[in-house]
């Protein structure tokens, strides 16, 4: 399983013959200016919610790739309004599982808000529990710390993408608690440093995780990371 961090909360996962993309927000992110989004051609795009900083590049990447888009029902309705064909959209709700050749992705609870870029209702935010390539991976989206995460603690999660920037999501300290709730040792940080309110001290963040017996990976934008 190869992971590519595209900045903010945008993450690519490459499996054998299948490519997944979560929350495409790349071109508006100055930190990701070296990323050519025309080269990103996933087979599946997963949306945790519909805020602009998670869907800005959705339409263009989907047009270039023909990807299937997976989202909660109301966000999926917004996706169709962007000119994406209904047969390329999978509308899930909490507890629902999408199965495909790569494995499966279950939609799980996230504590945040959700609206379209136009300000309309877009359903509830969500996370995904992905089972693929012999691994179990949790993508938390923009969730705050919530006791609901304890329900994932028996899932043998190999790696988790957790927001760590604070202000709009969990901060580093809450992400450590979340990693305890989900019983996961390998954490990849997302949703940090993009905007001034979510700037973090990266060395301090790594030290706090290490002191808690965890590994925090802060990936360079665009560089692949192998999950063994």
Task: Say what the pLDDT of residue 227 is.
Answer: 84
CA 211 from chain centre, in angstroms, equals 25
Residues of the chain short of pLDDT 70, as ranges, are none
Three-state DSSP at 125 gives: coil
Q: What is the pTM of this model?
A: 0.97
Quick one: which of 141, 126, 119 has its CA closest to 73?
Answer: 126
- Residues of the domain holding 203: 2-226
Task: Say what the pLDDT of residue 104 is.
Answer: 97
For 158, other C-beta atoms within 10 Å of its C-beta total 18
Quick one: which of 62, 59, 65 has its CA closest to 81?
Answer: 59
Q: Output the 3-class SS for 170-184.
A: CEHHHHHHHHHHCCC
Task: Give the CATH number for residue 157.
Answer: 3.60.15.10
Task: Say what the pLDDT of residue 16 is.
Answer: 87
Domain count, the chain: 1
Task: Say what the pLDDT of residue 216 is.
Answer: 98
Task: Say what the pLDDT of residue 169 is.
Answer: 98
For 97, other C-beta atoms within 10 Å of its C-beta total 12
Cβ burial 35-71 (10 Å sphere, 16+ → b, else e)? bebeebebbbbbbbbbbebbbbbbebbbeebebbbbb
Task: Say what the pLDDT of residue 228 is.
Answer: 76
């Amino acid at each position: 399983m190869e992971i590519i961090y595209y900045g903010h909360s945008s993450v690519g996962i490459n499996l054998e013959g299948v490519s997944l993309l979560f929350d495409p927000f790349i071109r508006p992110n100055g930190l990701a200016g070296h990323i050519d989004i025309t080269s990103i051609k996933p087979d599946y795009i997963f949306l945790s919610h519909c805020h602009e900083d998670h869907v800005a590049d959705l339409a263009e990447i989907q047009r270039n790739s023909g990807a299937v888009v997976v989202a909660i029902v109301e966000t999926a309705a917004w996706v169709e309004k962007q000119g994406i064909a209904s047969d390329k959209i999978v509308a899930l709700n909490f507890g629902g599982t999408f199965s495909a050749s790569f494995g499966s992705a279950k939609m799980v609870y996230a504590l945040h808000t959700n609206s379209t870029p136009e300000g309309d209702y877009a359903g509830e935010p969500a996370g995904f529990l992905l089972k693929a390539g012999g691994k179990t991976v949790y993508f938390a989206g923009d969730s705050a710390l919530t006791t609901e995460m304890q329900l994932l603690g028996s899932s043998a999660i190999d790696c988790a993408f957790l927001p760590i920037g604070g202000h709009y999501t969990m901060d580093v300290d809450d992400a450590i608690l979340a990693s305890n709730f989900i019983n996961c040792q390998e954490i990849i940080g997302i949703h940090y440093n993009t905007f001034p309110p979510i700037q973090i001290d990266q060395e301090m963040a790594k030290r706090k995780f290490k002191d808690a017996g965890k590994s925090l990976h802060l990936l360079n934008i665009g560089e692949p990371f192998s999950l063994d």
